Structure 1
Amino acid sequence: MIPQTAPSARLVTAALKSHRAHTHRAFYATIRSLRQPPPSSLDPDDAPTSDNDFILSILRANPSLRDTRSYLASFGPRPQRSAPAPSEDIIIPPPHTTNEPVAKSIPIALEHPKPSPIIASILNPVYRRTALVKVQGPFTDVQLDSITRGLVYLEKLGLVSVIVVENDDLPRGEQDERSAVVEETMRVVTSLEKHGARARPVVGAVVRLGPKSGEDDIPLERDFVPPESHTVPSDLIPIRSALRAGEIPVIAPFALDSFCRSVRVDANDVIAGLARGMVETAAEDRSQQRHSEDGYPEFSEDIDLTPLRLMIIDRHGGVPSYARSGYPHLLINLTSEYQHIHETFDHRWNDTHPTALSNLALARTCLAYMPPTSSAVMVSHKSPSSLIGNLITNKPAVSSSLPHALLQGNRKLTPHTPTLLRRGLPVRVIRSVAEIDQAKMNHLLEQSFGRTLDNSSFYARLEKSLDFVVVAGDYAGAAIVTNEPSPESSEPISYLDKFAVLPSHQGDGTVDFLWVALHDESYGLGHPFSANPNGGRGGKGDGRDLVWRSRSNNPVNKWYFERSSGHIRMGSWVLFWCDGEKRLKIEEGRRGSAGLSYIEEWEQGRLGKWADVVAKIPSSWK
């Protein structure tokens, strides 16, 4: 059980333990890892300022309890277990004080001593994972220092970067091309070491051009193009060696061609090949990992090669969005939005964000091989501290499901706000009960609410009142909207009857994807930015006020408060609503600088009508 302390405090403590643990891990490091920058090159004020910035970056992330648990599940100490029974090789005292006598003799020496998992968890309190990082310059020395400082902070939190360097201004095909690429790689190494990290340049080719043997037999998703590069296990030896030594590998963008020549290639080809190769090698490592007699894996100083994050750091930041007047997308569902982003990409952005679409394609390729919980982030050099927030929460800097007007007025939303990308799920809209897979819907609702659904009465009511259902994936989430008749009006009330996401998909972006689709089909209709590819109305129509209720003690209410236009309390219930945005926008435009009134004519008495209708809606549960 996680102690009930502040989430940020726990993360700070874990990070500081990780920082101290570097001393203990020196036993496993190579001689090269003992390098330290010359004392004269360090500013005496750098250390305390850096530590303070690091802690403040964690606190600014403001992680929730769920975020903290998710972070600790990936990077926290491995679960400890009771000590194994004494063997002929070694006798370990019991972990707790008992009345039983402790063994009197311990072997003087062991031929091959190995730390036990308990000792390993003490020496390595933070479990280290890897991230693929593309550093795409050119950057000035000051800009590069800002970037590498952020990557060093991530290492303290357990995320070790595997960096591929790119510089768009370096000449291609010229005589001094290789030396210029190596020099740029060494700039990144020097900058990392300036901030106290240990880094190793890798200037040999780590990927091979061309298809991988046997990949033609692997079924691919529609429109998915595999990377033009691949690796074999021996190619990853330099990276594995650096990680074992506690060093950050910094890789030059070279690859072996069909004639075994080392040639310069686009960094995207190197990263895509590494993403696939590191995932495959990590899977092979796990299959070959030896286990002790009690079934637990034996201790190993290796880092899990499976990339947990893809980070693309350049001068331009995220992918521009038509819905935000060129400001970046906040969260992208690659499965359902990839093609739509291409179709709505303004040609003028090819000048301001020349690599946005190629980096979008890179994220799609890499995330296809990485675990479903992985994410990619596109960020400019001006927002390196946001990488810590992304690591801890795995969420966008600003939620994409917040009201559009609030996002436009939020000072945090800038041209340099990062874009978070996830593999995501397909999203579709259905409009009849016959199209609902009732078995899957029942499972979703019962798992999400923890109650038993009254099937017959629930679907009988939907037969009469269903407006539409937004479904994410294979019923990983759903939003059910009904038309509830109003006795005092010919227009029915648009009521959000159910909003549910499977527990296994809470925290992976499904909630935001689902709410954005709900917005686009209900109160957001009529705006150009509501024309998302979810199979619904395509943004055409007039938005209607959306109403729903929630138990007053529902922990999700905080999330509802942020996304609703208002709420009122009705005994043990809270009534929420979202105003139809198009109507408000039209009225506001008519009045110019005068703005809207506190209560408009059409709002007179509507709360009473809503409360009366909503209170009479029967329960769906047994």
Structure 2
Amino acid sequence: MSARIFDSAIRQAQVATTSRSATPRTKTPVRWIKTGRKVLAGEVRKRQVEAERQRDLIMSVLEAQPSARDSRFYLRNFDPASRPSSMESSLFAPPKPRRRAGEVDGPAFPLSDQETPTTAYSRAIPTTSPDERTGEAVPSAQTTDPKGKTALASELLSAPASRHTALVKVQGPFSDRQLESIAEGMVYLKKLGLVSIIVMDHQRWTREEERIRRLNLPEEDGRELIVRLREEMKCEAIRLSDALEAKGGAARPLLEGVLCVHGAAFEDTLKPIASTSARPYEKRTEDLFVDSLSAIRNAVQQGEIPVIPPIALDASCFSLCVSANDAMRAIAHGLADAERWTGLRYEADTRLSNDVDLTPVRLMIINREGGLPSHARGGDPHLSINLESEFDYINKTFIWKDTHPNALANLALVRDCLSHLPRTASAVLVSHRSPRSLIANLITNKPAHSPSLAHDLLPRRNMQHQPTIVRRGLPIRVHRNMDDVDLDKMTFLLEESFGKTLNREPFYERLERDLDFCIVAGDYQACAIVTNEVRLDPESGQPLLDPVTGQPEEPIAYLDKFAVLPSLQGDGTVDFLWGALRDESWGLGLLDALNPNVGGLGGQGIPRDLVWRSRANNPVNKWYHDRSTGFFKIPPPPGGAVGFALFWCEVEDRASEFMRDEKEGKRMRSTPEKLTKWAPCIGAIPSCWI
């Protein structure tokens, strides 16, 4: 966030707390107004508390450090169409990509973030908005209102009128103080436009259900234990509701009537209900279902937070204790069905067609464990997970069952729930110690730290409580032969991403000869193409020989193309693709490069420096700079008007050594010699565009 926006928000926070600092603490505060009536001490205190909460909310937003781009992204999705943002003009409307026959548009939320890097030649994004009086374009960050505050800051900190929903599992046990912290985070999210639909869970409940079944008690005794467990679930839901109310948020405990059980009868209450999590993912049937969303819909309409215990009614209306994970699956399925107008009784009513959209845009799991541990981060949480390519690998290599006993079950729950929701929906696994990180994720729609950054650039302290962002993502495959590549789909991807027409024949002829590997995400929604570039003798045209060995020089690993379809911008695909690229080149051979992608080397091999070029005026160069070891400017090719910036990623073992030398004031070794080899070779590569 710019300094102007930051200062403006700080001034608002100071104004919000003025009354608190001016109020004496030694006696009961009493204030007179024009009518002569007294304002009671309780009312004054209530206003002070509200002002303090407003200040805390502002500070939580500022701690998220949203950039102007992140703020615009948030406003696009949470600002209602009836109250258009002054920042939202046609200048920011993303270009509509050409689509293949039969391809359908993705869901409306979240909108594509067109400033996320997608290609080596990304389109520049305008950073101006029209002046209301003159109609002339002025810089967006300096557009001000009459009070001198930036319009962007004012709109970001104002309560949005539109609402979206999040499906949240709160998995205890939690102390009163911990529950208050969670409730505070939920209330702040509601003020920012995200209403949580909460399902309660407790580690002890599952064990208690299993214990009751193992005891094989008489029916009356078993029923008494179940009733006692059911009452405990209801009390926990009311406890969280009270915490939400105490933090200034309206809550509605929905103790019964939301969930029902297929085929259960009163006499079967002591028998275990078949868990959906125990069945194959592809062939799962639902044992629980949502009978009606009327109560949830009405609560969201009223701005209240529904709190639901894992209790379901059987055929005889007896309340059963069920798995919270199964309850989450059933509610996710029901919320999605409500918007498709299928499957739910009482929901296919035309009067609801223009009602609030209940489809969750976020799935949250708040517990004591936090994010999923990662081998690549030494046991610290994954920053981001691509379910399509990493789910099986994480399950096979997970070694933290003692410290994170619920991690794999929660990951399976996330996968099942996201399968019902729009592809753009994401999930967050977060510890109760960092509930405010949910605000940062809401505003930026990104992990706290970019997972595509070099590990040495990530902070090493307080990482154990960082949340894990989980997306459905895309399967990733590595091809090492052009015969395995669909040229038509590849052409469409490149032309859509770069906005140019590909000179197909010479480009693919060069790839047939020089391809090292090609990484493809999904059905050609993204790709990274790496070639082997050989330095040639300018006189003979033959490959140059190494003066020491007398053998041909080792080819240069050149990132020829890095492309993501514009429709996938902002959904994490660029980070997943960059991570796969790292594990196949400059990170190869390291213990944290155990790439699970089909066709990958699995971390086995000799790493190589990766080199690529980008036009000197490319706005994506800042993103490349943060992820490279260094860059060097090279002149334009013959007949070209714009020069290039040559970037490279050093083999990570050597890069770490260089960074240590640089901190100690030593000069970096060997890199200048490489640049003399890289620059002429890379600069002479012809353009592939018509």
TM over 0.5: yes
Equivalent residue runs for 1:601-612 within 5 Å: 602-612=670-680
* CA–CA separation in structure 2 for the residues paired with 1:402 and 1:326: 18
Work out whether 1:453 is the aligned partner of 2:522: no
Provide the secondary structure at the position in 2 that maps to 1:352.
Answer: coil
Provide the secondary structure at the position in 2 that maps to 1:181.
Answer: helix
Tell me if structure 2 keeps the 8 A contact 1:164–1:253.
yes
**1:615 positional shift:** 0.6
Would the alpha carbon gap of residues 567 and 604 (structure 1) be closer, same or farther in structure 2, given more than 3 Å must change? Answer: closer
Q: Which residue of 1 aligns with 2:129?
A: none
Q: Which residue of 2 aligns with 1:109?
A: none
Equivalent residue runs for 1:400-419 within 5 Å: 400-407=451-458, 409-411=459-461, 414-419=463-468
Tell me if structure 2 keeps the 8 A contact 1:477–1:501.
yes
Tell me if structure 2 keeps the 8 A contact 1:227–1:269.
no
Q: Which residue of 2 aligns with 1:521?
A: 584
* CA–CA separation in structure 2 for the residues paired with 1:474 and 1:144: 44
**1:594 positional shift:** 11
Q: Which residue of 1 aligns with 2:270?
A: none
Q: Which residue of 1 aligns with 2:633?
A: 569
Provide the secondary structure at the position in 2 that maps to 1:59.
Answer: helix
Equivalent residue runs for 1:412-451 within 5 Å: 414-451=463-500
* CA–CA separation in structure 2 for the residues paired with 1:124 and 1:211: 45
**1:209 positional shift:** 3.2
Provide the secondary structure at the position in 1 that maps to 2:334.
Answer: helix
Residue type at the aligned position of 1:193: E
**1:73 positional shift:** 3.2
**1:288 positional shift:** 6.0
* CA–CA separation in structure 2 for the residues paired with 1:417 and 1:228: 33
Would the alpha carbon gap of residues 12 and 394 (structure 1) be closer, same or farther in structure 2, given more than 3 Å must change? Answer: farther
Provide the secondary structure at the position in 1 that maps to 2:447.
Answer: coil
Residue type at the aligned position of 1:517: A
Q: Which residue of 1 aligns with 2:90?
A: none
2:360 corresponds, among 287, 307, 328, to: 307
Greater relative contact order, per chain length (Cα 8 Å cut-off, separation 6+): 2
Q: Which residue of 1 aligns with 2:16?
A: none
Work out whether 1:466 is the aligned partner of 2:515: yes
* CA–CA separation in structure 1 for the residues paired with 2:582 and 2:60: 32
**1:612 positional shift:** 1.3
* CA–CA separation in structure 1 for the residues paired with 2:187 and 2:64: 17
Provide the secondary structure at the position in 2 that maps to 1:235.
Answer: coil
Provide the secondary structure at the position in 2 that maps to 1:377.
Answer: strand
Tell me if structure 1 keeps the 8 A contact 2:477–2:519.
yes
2:245 corresponds, among 177, 193, 196, to: 193
Residue type at the aligned position of 1:523: W
Q: Which residue of 1 aligns with 2:605?
A: 541
Root-mean-square deviation over aligned CA pairs: 3.4
* CA–CA separation in structure 2 for the residues paired with 1:392 and 1:566: 31
**1:125 positional shift:** 5.1
* CA–CA separation in structure 2 for the residues paired with 1:462 and 1:570: 24
Provide the secondary structure at the position in 1 that maps to 2:419.
Answer: helix
Tell me if structure 2 keeps the 8 A contact 1:588–1:595.
no
Per-residue Cα deviation, 1:259-284 (whole angstroms, up to 9, x for no partner): 54211112111111000001101221
Q: Which residue of 2 aligns with 1:362?
A: 413
Give unmatched runs, 5+ long, in structure 1: 14-37, 82-122, 213-220, 292-296
Residue type at the aligned position of 1:236: L
**1:436 positional shift:** 1.4
Per-residue Cα deviation, 1:473-502 (whole angstroms, up to 9, x for no partner): 011100000010134641111110000000
Q: Which residue of 2 aligns with 1:128?
A: 163
* CA–CA separation in structure 2 for the residues paired with 1:168 and 1:177: 13
Work out whether 1:598 is the aligned partner of 2:667: yes
**1:303 positional shift:** 2.1
Provide the secondary structure at the position in 1 that maps to 2:402.
Answer: helix
2:235 corresponds, among 183, 190, 208, to: 183
Work out whether 1:336 is the aligned partner of 2:389: yes
Equivalent residue runs for 1:207-606 within 5 Å: 207-210=259-262, 223-224=281-282, 226=284, 228-232=286-290, 234-257=291-314, 260-284=317-341, 300=354, 302-346=355-399, 349-407=400-458, 409-411=459-461, 414-486=463-535, 487=544, 489=546, 490-535=553-598, 536-571=600-635, 572-584=643-655, 598-600=667-669, 602-606=670-674
Residue type at the aligned position of 1:610: W
Provide the secondary structure at the position in 1 that maps to 2:204.
Answer: coil
**1:428 positional shift:** 0.3
Provide the secondary structure at the position in 2 that maps to 1:322.
Answer: coil
Residue type at the aligned position of 1:401: S
Tell me if structure 2 keeps the 8 A contact 1:378–1:418.
yes
TM-score w.r.t. length of structure 2? 0.71
Q: Which residue of 2 aligns with 1:215?
A: none
Residue type at the aligned position of 1:599: M
TM-score w.r.t. length of structure 1? 0.79
Per-residue Cα deviation, 1:6-38 (whole angstroms, up to 9, x for no partner): 89899999xxxxxxxxxxxxxxxxxxxxxxxx9
Per-residue Cα deviation, 1:194-250 (whole angstroms, up to 9, x for no partner): 1111101111042233499xxxxxxxx984353644434x43222122222221111
* CA–CA separation in structure 2 for the residues paired with 1:595 and 1:210: 68
Residue type at the aligned position of 1:538: G
Residue type at the aligned position of 1:483: N
| Greater mean alpha carbon deviation, residues 420-429 or residues 607-616 | 607-616
**1:80 positional shift:** 7.2
Tell me if structure 1 keeps the 8 A contact 2:230–2:311.
no
Residue type at the aligned position of 2:451: S
Residue type at the aligned position of 2:171: Q
* CA–CA separation in structure 2 for the residues paired with 1:266 and 1:8: 45
Tell me if structure 1 keeps the 8 A contact 2:336–2:359.
yes
**1:517 positional shift:** 0.5
| Greater mean alpha carbon deviation, residues 536-545 or residues 258-267 | 258-267
**1:442 positional shift:** 1.0
Residue type at the aligned position of 2:318: R
Would the alpha carbon gap of residues 554 and 417 (structure 1) be closer, same or farther in structure 2, given more than 3 Å must change? Answer: same
* CA–CA separation in structure 1 for the residues paired with 2:311 and 2:9: 37
Would the alpha carbon gap of residues 146 and 227 (structure 1) be closer, same or farther in structure 2, given more than 3 Å must change? Answer: farther
Residue type at the aligned position of 2:503: D
Q: Which residue of 2 aligns with 1:164?
A: 199
**1:167 positional shift:** 2.0
Would the alpha carbon gap of residues 357 and 281 (structure 1) be closer, same or farther in structure 2, given more than 3 Å must change? Answer: same
Residue type at the aligned position of 2:678: W
Q: Which residue of 2 aligns with 1:619?
A: 687
**Number of paired residues?**
531
**1:137 positional shift:** 1.0
**1:57 positional shift:** 2.1
Would the alpha carbon gap of residues 124 and 523 (structure 1) be closer, same or farther in structure 2, given more than 3 Å must change? Answer: closer
Residue type at the aligned position of 2:472: R
1:155 corresponds, among 143, 166, 190, to: 190
Per-residue Cα deviation, 1:123-146 (whole angstroms, up to 9, x for no partner): 995211111011111111111111
Q: Which residue of 1 aligns with 2:52?
A: 49
Tell me if structure 2 keeps the 8 A contact 1:520–1:539.
yes
Tell me if structure 1 keeps the 8 A contact 2:281–2:416.
no
Provide the secondary structure at the position in 2 that maps to 1:617.
Answer: coil
Residue type at the aligned position of 2:76: A
* CA–CA separation in structure 2 for the residues paired with 1:273 and 1:8: 42
